[in-house]
Structure 1
């Protein structure tokens, strides 16, 4: 007997000939539908660029993120003209400095581009040394100054460190935290949800009471309390591992509840009952019939959970409870924005917010596109 409706949309991970060729797989159908989503494709491209940037962060960083120069230096001006005023395909960088003039109203010194001694730039230039992929010595950078002078395209922070380079390096920690937390929460939430929904009975009742207990916690005070347990003198790797552990412990319950509800509906479908009737093991039923049909929901949940963790890490980092120096993350960089006077005088220190916004938009757009492509209903 063939059912219709939303439950029947995900009955099998393999095909549906009504969409085209009978040899077309479910994955190719999803990809074909996903390509029609403009926002989904933009999100996919941005996510790929973010992941590449985080893996090869040192290569894309034009400056040493730990090198100190002039504190709170404004962003340099990029111009496609040489010192003689002629057009140049290779951009020149003009530092922002005192022009020698004063504002007629406030009598404050005016700043502008200093064109007396511009900095030539180029691609694939030599700079500070680093370990590509953590074991290959290298000193080639994607973009930077060709004469070795400082280059601050987004300005510097209160310690005189380049904000752009620190933002690129910070993507490695922020995205690593997000991916690790989502991987753990997805694994635990999927196992608990499928086990609870498929086995049912008393086990289901006890597991759901525990899920409700976890969901009932006020998460923000608990985050602050748990992360405060690690002393400030603890190694950075230990503190980072504890932060990932705390976020994972408090983040799996919602997905477990969603997977359980889908498992309950799938367990009533005819082919699952037929598999039970012919003596199929629970392991085979879960792996061959139930898990493939909840996988689409899990994939979408993963893409939508990553920006949530990025925002949470940024917020906790701003409060000083996520990442400790010498590690770099977007949340840690936002600690310099804690005073309104600093933001008013040096607005460029808000640049890490741009990294967070682009990441959240990219993963949300990718998740929306996947949701529409995977579930046509």
Structure 2
């Protein structure tokens, strides 16, 4: 009996001696066990890194023109005689002199006599890193500064891969800017409406219902069409962000209001009111921290919807105008079936959109599962 009591006391003392885990540690301990959540986190980090260092990662300049509608050049580890080599290369495309019997387009093939060796940290088109530091090194590309097109070229002869990498900047910047504004406005309105209640809550919710009742797509097209074509690019981009944010905050505020209504009736909030705590202290010290877990999950799940909306509006020509580059704007080249059938590599931006949507959705699902139990 004494031995059992001794073991129980030892186990209890060992548990009490361990430091208590914080809320963030508990969430991370559960989140890193989620395979899809960790995959989404890794992909999101990679997307952000690619967007920040787009000039360095892109193998070519996004505005440099070459032959239009060149097919993708596959990486090969064999020389022209078919022998294996450790030096990766691509072969320039050349016309074979034959015509496709269906499209009557010239058939092109690999020019085995003109290999282009590949490498890392190669010299290429000049750019300014972060808009400040002049540089000419690229993460990968041709060692002799020859043009290589891993995903082909578009109708103007511009490299599709380089444009897609640079397009991630605008697409992600629009999504993150819109979601940041939506989160700040929606969270603030939801907290005020749910905490104070009464007539203020009634009037705020009627206004929220009016915003939610608007047919968003026709309103997007109508508002963005008000901007003159000659407007500067930054003015057009700012207007698009404002329009998307003005129509997106209402749903966030409704969700935060529901959470605030439930939290305002919990004992520790009533105790804070009883001891004379100010409304500001109660909102920011007691309610907002408990709402943030839901807000973070909602943000990661809302970013994909904004990316899809920007891509759709860009495809219609209402989101981004040249010389800016976005995934949606690149998809304008796929407006006809003949182009898709003859040059399917023009659909490459769709793959970037799908990866971004999957990454943020997987991250949001992982965070939701990790946050809920705690």
Normalised-by-shorter TM-score class: over 0.9
Q: Are 1:199 and 2:181 an aligned pair?
A: no
CA distance in 1, matches of 2:262, 2:153: 55
Aligned residue pair count: 359
CA distance in 1, matches of 2:119, 2:82: 18
CA displacement at 1:160 relative to structure 2: 0.6
CA distance in 1, matches of 2:157, 2:245: 35
- Aligned to 1:230, which of 186, 203, 227? 227
Q: Deviations over 1:128-174 (max 9, x none)?
A: 11111121111110001111111110010111100000000000000
CA displacement at 1:95 relative to structure 2: 2.8
Q: Are 1:187 and 2:170 an aligned pair?
A: no
In structure 2, stretches of 5+ residues that fail to align are 1-14
CA distance in 1, matches of 2:18, 2:225: 58
CA displacement at 1:84 relative to structure 2: 4.7
- Provide TM-score, normalisation by structure 2: 0.92
**Maintained 8 Å contact 1:44/1:366:** yes
Partner of 1:159: 156
Q: CA RMSD in A?
A: 1.8
- What secondary structure, in the 3-state scheme, does the structure 2 residue paired with 1:124 have? strand
CA distance in 2, matches of 1:141, 1:182: 31
- Aligned to 1:62, which of 41, 44, 59? 59
Partner of 1:293: 290
Q: Deviations over 1:154-210 (max 9, x none)?
A: 010111100000000000000000000000000000000000000000000000000
CA displacement at 1:109 relative to structure 2: 5.7
Deviates more, 1:233-242 or 1:86-95: 86-95
- TM-aligned CA distance change 1:341 to 1:162, over 3 Å: same
- Aligned to 1:35, which of 32, 35, 44? 32
Partner of 1:119: 116
CA displacement at 1:112 relative to structure 2: 3.0
- TM-aligned CA distance change 1:107 to 1:269, over 3 Å: closer
- TM-aligned CA distance change 1:32 to 1:89, over 3 Å: farther
Q: Are 1:23 and 2:20 an aligned pair?
A: yes
- What secondary structure, in the 3-state scheme, does the structure 2 residue paired with 1:159 have? coil
CA displacement at 1:83 relative to structure 2: 4.0
In structure 1, stretches of 5+ residues that fail to align are 1-17
- Provide TM-score, normalisation by structure 1: 0.92
Deviates more, 1:130-139 or 1:362-371: 130-139
CA distance in 1, matches of 2:327, 2:171: 7
CA displacement at 1:116 relative to structure 2: 1.6
Bigger Rg, structure 1 or 2: 2
- Aligned to 2:340, which of 340, 343, 346? 343
Runs of 4+ in 1 over 4 A off after TM superposition: 100-110
Q: Deviations over 1:56-106 (max 9, x none)?
A: 000011011001110111111211223453433331011333345677999
CA displacement at 1:111 relative to structure 2: 3.6
- TM-aligned CA distance change 1:104 to 1:137, over 3 Å: closer
Partner of 1:5: none
Q: Deviations over 1:318-366 (max 9, x none)?
A: 0000000000000000000001111111111000101100000000000
